[in-house]
Copies of this chain bind each other. A is one copy, B any other.
Amino acid sequence: MPKPPLPDELQQVLANPNPSIIGTVRPDGSPNTVATWYLWEDGRVLVNMDEGRKRLEYLRHEPRVSLTVLDGDRWYRHITLHGRATLEDDPNLEDIDRIATHYTGRPYSQRDRGRVSGWIEVESWYAWNGGQPWSP
């Protein structure tokens, strides 16, 4: 798998408010996947979770993640990023507001729950376009 930085064309795709799915590993060694918002910032990925999410427990146990980003409705084009997540609290909801605004145009609606951010440092990536490697 190639190492970062990603080609500009793929970074431009990542900068859009795309559907994405994050994969983590549970303490029993089995995989977990769930759809998530994300933000591509300065070559890193920002995700954000409610403080009650089991995924936080998984990430504290195993920080390695895999994020597959679909190119909007053209989901035969997709980019997968492998990396490690570093967790930090988001006490003022600045991170989730930035992410929510990216996807919905508005700050995050729920204000009464703690949020935790995960910053993912990308270690390798690959991209597919219609069943073939996507090589811009």
List the interface of chain A (C-beta within 8 A of B): 19, 21-25, 29-35, 62, 64-68, 70, 73, 75-76, 78, 80, 82, 110, 128, 131
Contact = CB atoms under 8 A, between A and B. Distances in A.
Contacts of A65: 31
11 contacts: A19-B19, A24-B31, A25-B31, A29-B29, A30-B62, A30-B64, A31-B62, A31-B66, A32-B66, A35-B70, A35-B128
A22 B24 CA distance: 12
A64 B22 CA distance: 16
Given A25-B30, A29-B25, A35 B66 contact: no
Contacts of A131: 110
A88 to B, nearest CB: 21
Chain A at the B interface: SS class: strand
A34 B80 contact: yes
Nearest to A19: B75
B78 A35 contact: yes
Highest count of chain B CB atoms <10 Å: which of A33, A35, A68: A33
A128 B82 CA distance: 24
User: Which 3 residue pairs spanning A and B have beta carbons closest together?
Assistant: A23-B33, A23-B23, A23-B31
